[in-house]
Amino acid sequence: MLKRLIVGAVLLAGLAIVIFLALKIHADRHFYDGYDPHAPLNARASDPEPVEGTVKAFGQSTPARYRRQRIEIEARPGERVPAIMTLPFSADAPSPVIVLLHGSHQEKEFVEKICTPFNEAGFAMVCFDQYMRGERKVEGGLLAMALAFRERCWKTVHDARRLIDYLMTRPDIAHDRIYLVGASYGAITGTALLAQEKRIKAADLVVGGGNLRLLSKAPEVRRELPGWILPWAGPLLAFALAPAEPLVHAPATAGIPVLMQNGSKDGVVIPESGKALFAALGEPKELRWYPVNHPDREEKGEEVIKMLMDGLGWLVQRDAIR
Protein backbone atom coordinates (compact mmCIF):
# COMPACT_ATOMS: atom_id res chain seq x y z
CA MET A 1 0.00 0.00 0.00
CA LEU A 2 2.76 2.43 0.96
CA LYS A 3 4.63 1.56 -2.24
CA ARG A 4 1.56 2.39 -4.31
CA LEU A 5 1.14 5.71 -2.52
CA ILE A 6 4.76 6.63 -3.19
CA VAL A 7 4.50 5.65 -6.87
CA GLY A 8 1.27 7.64 -7.17
CA ALA A 9 2.84 10.68 -5.55
CA VAL A 10 5.84 10.49 -7.89
CA LEU A 11 3.58 10.19 -10.93
CA LEU A 12 1.47 13.14 -9.80
CA ALA A 13 4.59 15.20 -9.19
CA GLY A 14 5.91 14.25 -12.63
CA LEU A 15 2.60 15.18 -14.22
CA ALA A 16 2.58 18.53 -12.42
CA ILE A 17 6.07 19.28 -13.71
CA VAL A 18 5.10 18.35 -17.28
CA ILE A 19 2.00 20.57 -17.10
CA PHE A 20 4.04 23.44 -15.63
CA LEU A 21 6.68 23.17 -18.36
CA ALA A 22 4.02 22.99 -21.09
CA LEU A 23 2.37 26.13 -19.72
CA LYS A 24 5.75 27.86 -19.46
CA ILE A 25 6.61 27.01 -23.08
CA HIS A 26 3.23 28.32 -24.24
CA ALA A 27 3.63 31.52 -22.23
CA ASP A 28 7.16 32.07 -23.57
CA ARG A 29 6.02 31.64 -27.18
CA HIS A 30 3.35 34.29 -26.73
CA PHE A 31 5.38 36.52 -24.41
CA TYR A 32 5.19 39.65 -26.57
CA ASP A 33 1.72 39.05 -28.00
CA GLY A 34 -1.04 41.54 -27.38
CA TYR A 35 0.34 44.83 -28.70
CA ASP A 36 -2.54 46.59 -30.47
CA PRO A 37 -1.62 49.75 -32.40
CA HIS A 38 -5.30 50.50 -33.01
CA ALA A 39 -6.41 50.51 -29.37
CA PRO A 40 -7.48 53.93 -28.07
CA LEU A 41 -4.63 55.86 -26.49
CA ASN A 42 -6.89 58.14 -24.43
CA ALA A 43 -3.88 60.42 -24.15
CA ARG A 44 -3.61 63.41 -21.85
CA ALA A 45 -0.85 66.01 -22.04
CA SER A 46 -0.22 69.07 -19.91
CA ASP A 47 0.82 72.39 -21.37
CA PRO A 48 4.62 72.60 -21.76
CA GLU A 49 6.26 74.57 -18.97
CA PRO A 50 9.70 76.21 -19.25
CA VAL A 51 12.47 74.94 -17.00
CA GLU A 52 15.70 76.90 -16.50
CA GLY A 53 18.37 76.38 -13.87
CA THR A 54 20.88 73.67 -13.00
CA VAL A 55 20.60 69.95 -12.51
CA LYS A 56 22.89 67.41 -10.87
CA ALA A 57 23.61 64.20 -12.74
CA PHE A 58 26.30 61.65 -11.90
CA GLY A 59 27.72 64.06 -9.33
CA GLN A 60 28.11 66.83 -11.91
CA SER A 61 26.15 70.11 -11.98
CA THR A 62 25.06 71.09 -15.48
CA PRO A 63 22.71 73.71 -16.96
CA ALA A 64 19.04 72.84 -17.42
CA ARG A 65 17.01 74.55 -20.14
CA TYR A 66 14.00 72.90 -21.76
CA ARG A 67 10.22 72.79 -21.81
CA ARG A 68 8.62 70.08 -19.66
CA GLN A 69 5.39 68.29 -20.43
CA ARG A 70 3.63 65.52 -18.53
CA ILE A 71 1.95 62.87 -20.69
CA GLU A 72 -0.30 59.93 -19.91
CA ILE A 73 -1.38 57.23 -22.34
CA GLU A 74 -3.40 54.07 -22.00
CA ALA A 75 -1.10 51.19 -22.90
CA ARG A 76 -3.78 48.59 -22.27
CA PRO A 77 -7.42 48.97 -21.22
CA GLY A 78 -7.42 50.39 -17.72
CA GLU A 79 -3.62 50.66 -17.47
CA ARG A 80 -2.27 54.17 -17.81
CA VAL A 81 1.41 54.93 -18.35
CA PRO A 82 2.79 58.31 -17.22
CA ALA A 83 5.69 59.93 -19.03
CA ILE A 84 7.72 63.14 -19.07
CA MET A 85 8.58 64.79 -22.36
CA THR A 86 11.19 67.51 -22.63
CA LEU A 87 11.16 69.81 -25.64
CA PRO A 88 13.54 72.35 -27.14
CA PHE A 89 12.82 75.91 -26.05
CA SER A 90 12.00 76.80 -29.63
CA ALA A 91 11.53 74.83 -32.82
CA ASP A 92 10.75 76.06 -36.33
CA ALA A 93 9.78 72.61 -37.58
CA PRO A 94 8.70 69.26 -36.15
CA SER A 95 11.42 67.94 -33.82
CA PRO A 96 13.11 64.56 -33.97
CA VAL A 97 12.43 62.62 -30.79
CA ILE A 98 14.38 60.26 -28.55
CA VAL A 99 12.55 57.61 -26.55
CA LEU A 100 14.56 57.03 -23.37
CA LEU A 101 14.25 53.67 -21.63
CA HIS A 102 15.54 54.20 -18.10
CA GLY A 103 17.48 51.74 -15.96
CA SER A 104 16.02 49.17 -13.60
CA HIS A 105 16.13 51.43 -10.50
CA GLN A 106 15.27 54.73 -12.17
CA GLU A 107 12.04 56.59 -12.92
CA LYS A 108 10.77 58.81 -15.70
CA GLU A 109 12.19 61.90 -13.96
CA PHE A 110 15.69 60.71 -14.87
CA VAL A 111 15.17 62.23 -18.31
CA GLU A 112 15.30 65.71 -16.76
CA LYS A 113 18.81 65.09 -15.47
CA ILE A 114 20.28 64.50 -18.93
CA CYS A 115 17.91 66.06 -21.46
CA THR A 116 19.22 69.61 -21.89
CA PRO A 117 22.09 68.87 -24.33
CA PHE A 118 19.71 66.71 -26.40
CA ASN A 119 17.02 69.40 -26.37
CA GLU A 120 19.52 72.09 -27.30
CA ALA A 121 20.61 69.91 -30.23
CA GLY A 122 17.01 70.00 -31.45
CA PHE A 123 15.68 66.67 -30.12
CA ALA A 124 12.59 66.17 -28.02
CA MET A 125 13.08 63.48 -25.39
CA VAL A 126 10.48 61.33 -23.64
CA CYS A 127 10.68 58.77 -20.84
CA PHE A 128 7.90 56.77 -19.17
CA ASP A 129 7.71 55.05 -15.80
CA GLN A 130 8.34 51.39 -16.47
CA TYR A 131 6.19 48.83 -14.67
CA MET A 132 7.33 48.51 -11.02
CA ARG A 133 8.85 52.00 -10.97
CA GLY A 134 7.73 55.53 -10.14
CA GLU A 135 3.95 55.87 -10.24
CA ARG A 136 3.66 52.19 -11.22
CA LYS A 137 5.31 50.60 -8.19
CA VAL A 138 4.29 47.08 -7.22
CA GLU A 139 4.11 45.70 -3.68
CA GLY A 140 4.39 42.06 -2.68
CA GLY A 141 6.59 39.20 -1.54
CA LEU A 142 9.52 37.60 -3.31
CA LEU A 143 7.42 35.47 -5.69
CA ALA A 144 5.08 38.34 -6.55
CA MET A 145 8.02 40.62 -7.31
CA ALA A 146 9.70 37.95 -9.44
CA LEU A 147 6.53 37.49 -11.48
CA ALA A 148 6.15 41.25 -11.79
CA PHE A 149 9.71 41.57 -13.07
CA ARG A 150 9.03 38.97 -15.76
CA GLU A 151 5.91 40.94 -16.69
CA ARG A 152 7.93 44.14 -16.75
CA CYS A 153 10.03 42.84 -19.64
CA TRP A 154 7.16 42.60 -22.12
CA LYS A 155 5.33 45.60 -20.72
CA THR A 156 8.36 47.83 -21.28
CA VAL A 157 8.41 46.85 -24.96
CA HIS A 158 4.65 47.26 -25.41
CA ASP A 159 4.58 50.56 -23.50
CA ALA A 160 7.38 51.98 -25.63
CA ARG A 161 5.53 50.97 -28.78
CA ARG A 162 2.32 52.57 -27.51
CA LEU A 163 4.29 55.71 -26.68
CA ILE A 164 5.54 55.76 -30.27
CA ASP A 165 1.94 55.36 -31.43
CA TYR A 166 1.21 58.50 -29.43
CA LEU A 167 4.20 60.39 -30.83
CA MET A 168 2.92 59.64 -34.33
CA THR A 169 -0.20 61.69 -33.54
CA ARG A 170 1.72 64.85 -32.63
CA PRO A 171 2.26 67.52 -35.30
CA ASP A 172 5.28 68.93 -33.43
CA ILE A 173 7.17 65.61 -33.75
CA ALA A 174 8.96 64.44 -36.92
CA HIS A 175 7.40 61.00 -37.36
CA ASP A 176 10.25 59.69 -39.50
CA ARG A 177 12.94 60.74 -37.01
CA ILE A 178 12.31 58.59 -33.93
CA TYR A 179 15.36 57.34 -32.01
CA LEU A 180 16.03 55.20 -28.96
CA VAL A 181 18.40 55.58 -26.03
CA GLY A 182 18.34 52.63 -23.63
CA ALA A 183 20.26 52.73 -20.35
CA SER A 184 21.31 49.49 -18.65
CA TYR A 185 18.05 47.54 -18.22
CA GLY A 186 16.64 49.94 -20.81
CA ALA A 187 19.35 48.82 -23.24
CA ILE A 188 18.63 45.16 -22.51
CA THR A 189 14.88 45.50 -23.09
CA GLY A 190 15.58 48.01 -25.84
CA THR A 191 17.12 45.19 -27.88
CA ALA A 192 13.76 43.39 -27.96
CA LEU A 193 12.05 46.68 -28.77
CA LEU A 194 14.34 47.26 -31.77
CA ALA A 195 13.60 43.76 -33.02
CA GLN A 196 9.88 44.53 -33.08
CA GLU A 197 9.59 48.27 -33.70
CA LYS A 198 10.90 49.40 -37.07
CA ARG A 199 9.75 53.01 -36.73
CA ILE A 200 12.92 53.55 -34.67
CA LYS A 201 15.61 54.84 -37.03
CA ALA A 202 18.70 54.35 -34.83
CA ALA A 203 19.52 53.41 -31.25
CA ASP A 204 22.16 54.10 -28.62
CA LEU A 205 22.36 51.20 -26.15
CA VAL A 206 24.25 52.44 -23.08
CA VAL A 207 25.84 49.80 -20.81
CA GLY A 208 23.66 47.05 -22.22
CA GLY A 209 24.49 43.36 -22.39
CA GLY A 210 23.23 39.92 -23.24
CA ASN A 211 23.46 36.33 -21.97
CA LEU A 212 21.43 36.30 -18.76
CA ARG A 213 23.71 33.71 -17.16
CA LEU A 214 26.67 36.03 -17.66
CA LEU A 215 24.71 38.98 -16.29
CA SER A 216 23.99 37.00 -13.12
CA LYS A 217 27.74 36.55 -12.56
CA ALA A 218 28.44 40.28 -12.31
CA PRO A 219 30.13 41.05 -8.97
CA GLU A 220 27.77 43.93 -8.13
CA VAL A 221 24.76 41.73 -8.85
CA ARG A 222 26.03 38.83 -6.75
CA ARG A 223 26.80 41.17 -3.87
CA GLU A 224 23.10 42.06 -3.62
CA LEU A 225 21.84 38.44 -3.66
CA PRO A 226 21.49 36.15 -0.61
CA GLY A 227 24.24 33.54 -0.48
CA TRP A 228 21.93 30.54 -0.76
CA ILE A 229 20.68 31.60 -4.19
CA LEU A 230 24.07 32.31 -5.81
CA PRO A 231 24.61 28.81 -7.30
CA TRP A 232 21.13 28.97 -8.84
CA ALA A 233 21.01 32.61 -9.90
CA GLY A 234 22.15 32.08 -13.49
CA PRO A 235 19.94 29.09 -14.33
CA LEU A 236 16.91 30.65 -12.59
CA LEU A 237 17.32 33.98 -14.38
CA ALA A 238 17.80 32.30 -17.75
CA PHE A 239 14.75 30.08 -17.18
CA ALA A 240 12.42 32.76 -15.87
CA LEU A 241 13.32 35.41 -18.45
CA ALA A 242 14.07 33.14 -21.40
CA PRO A 243 11.80 34.97 -23.88
CA ALA A 244 13.38 38.31 -22.93
CA GLU A 245 16.99 37.13 -23.48
CA PRO A 246 18.58 39.94 -25.55
CA LEU A 247 20.66 37.51 -27.60
CA VAL A 248 17.44 35.99 -28.96
CA HIS A 249 16.26 39.34 -30.30
CA ALA A 250 19.57 40.92 -31.31
CA PRO A 251 19.81 39.49 -34.86
CA ALA A 252 16.41 41.03 -35.74
CA THR A 253 17.83 44.53 -35.19
CA ALA A 254 19.51 44.25 -38.61
CA GLY A 255 18.95 47.38 -40.66
CA ILE A 256 18.70 49.71 -37.65
CA PRO A 257 22.04 51.42 -36.85
CA VAL A 258 23.04 50.68 -33.26
CA LEU A 259 25.74 52.24 -31.11
CA MET A 260 26.72 50.36 -27.97
CA GLN A 261 28.56 52.25 -25.21
CA ASN A 262 29.97 50.07 -22.47
CA GLY A 263 32.23 50.41 -19.45
CA SER A 264 35.43 48.40 -19.31
CA LYS A 265 35.17 48.40 -15.49
CA ASP A 266 31.45 47.74 -15.26
CA GLY A 267 30.57 45.57 -12.28
CA VAL A 268 26.85 45.28 -13.15
CA VAL A 269 26.82 44.65 -16.90
CA ILE A 270 30.23 43.00 -17.17
CA PRO A 271 32.25 43.53 -20.37
CA GLU A 272 31.80 39.89 -21.43
CA SER A 273 28.04 40.44 -21.46
CA GLY A 274 28.40 43.60 -23.55
CA LYS A 275 30.60 41.76 -26.04
CA ALA A 276 28.05 38.94 -26.27
CA LEU A 277 25.25 41.35 -27.16
CA PHE A 278 27.36 43.23 -29.67
CA ALA A 279 28.32 40.00 -31.43
CA ALA A 280 24.66 39.00 -31.73
CA LEU A 281 23.36 42.36 -33.01
CA GLY A 282 22.58 42.79 -36.68
CA GLU A 283 24.46 45.27 -38.83
CA PRO A 284 25.16 48.18 -38.88
CA LYS A 285 26.60 48.43 -35.39
CA GLU A 286 29.44 50.00 -33.44
CA LEU A 287 30.84 49.36 -29.95
CA ARG A 288 32.72 51.99 -27.94
CA TRP A 289 34.46 51.33 -24.62
CA TYR A 290 34.88 53.77 -21.74
CA PRO A 291 37.06 53.39 -18.59
CA VAL A 292 34.07 53.44 -16.22
CA ASN A 293 32.06 51.33 -13.81
CA HIS A 294 28.26 51.18 -14.16
CA PRO A 295 27.19 54.84 -14.50
CA ASP A 296 25.24 55.03 -11.22
CA ARG A 297 28.30 53.66 -9.39
CA GLU A 298 31.06 55.49 -11.24
CA GLU A 299 33.00 57.98 -9.10
CA LYS A 300 34.22 60.00 -12.10
CA GLY A 301 30.93 61.46 -13.21
CA GLU A 302 32.62 63.50 -15.92
CA GLU A 303 33.44 60.27 -17.74
CA VAL A 304 29.76 59.30 -17.73
CA ILE A 305 28.82 62.74 -19.06
CA LYS A 306 31.39 62.20 -21.82
CA MET A 307 29.62 58.95 -22.76
CA LEU A 308 26.33 60.83 -23.01
CA MET A 309 27.87 63.55 -25.17
CA ASP A 310 29.46 60.97 -27.45
CA GLY A 311 26.09 59.26 -27.80
CA LEU A 312 24.42 62.57 -28.59
CA GLY A 313 27.04 63.31 -31.24
CA TRP A 314 26.40 59.93 -32.84
CA LEU A 315 22.64 60.54 -32.89
CA VAL A 316 23.13 63.97 -34.45
CA GLN A 317 25.21 62.35 -37.21
CA ARG A 318 22.58 59.64 -37.76
CA ASP A 319 19.83 62.24 -37.94
CA ALA A 320 21.80 64.26 -40.49
CA ILE A 321 22.15 61.30 -42.88
CA ARG A 322 18.62 59.90 -42.49
What pLDDT, in 10s, does the model give residues 304-313? 999 999 999 9
Q: Is the pLDDT of residue 1 over 70?
A: no
- What is the torsion angle, in degrees rounded to the nearest 10, for the CA atoms of residue 210, residue 216, residue 221 and residue 223? -160
d(CA 304, CA 293): 9
Closest among 113, 201, 188, 105 to 154, alpha carbons compared: 188
Average pLDDT over residues 246-256: 98
Domain 36-320 CATH class label? alpha beta
Q: Which range (4-13, 168-177, 264-273) has the least confidence? A: 4-13
Q: What is the pLDDT of residues 96-106, one digit of tens each?
A: 999 999 999 99
Q: What is the pLDDT of residues 43-62, one digit of tens each?
A: 999 999 999 999 999 999 99
pTM of the predicted model, to two decimals? 0.94
What is the percent of the chain where pLDDT is above 90? 78
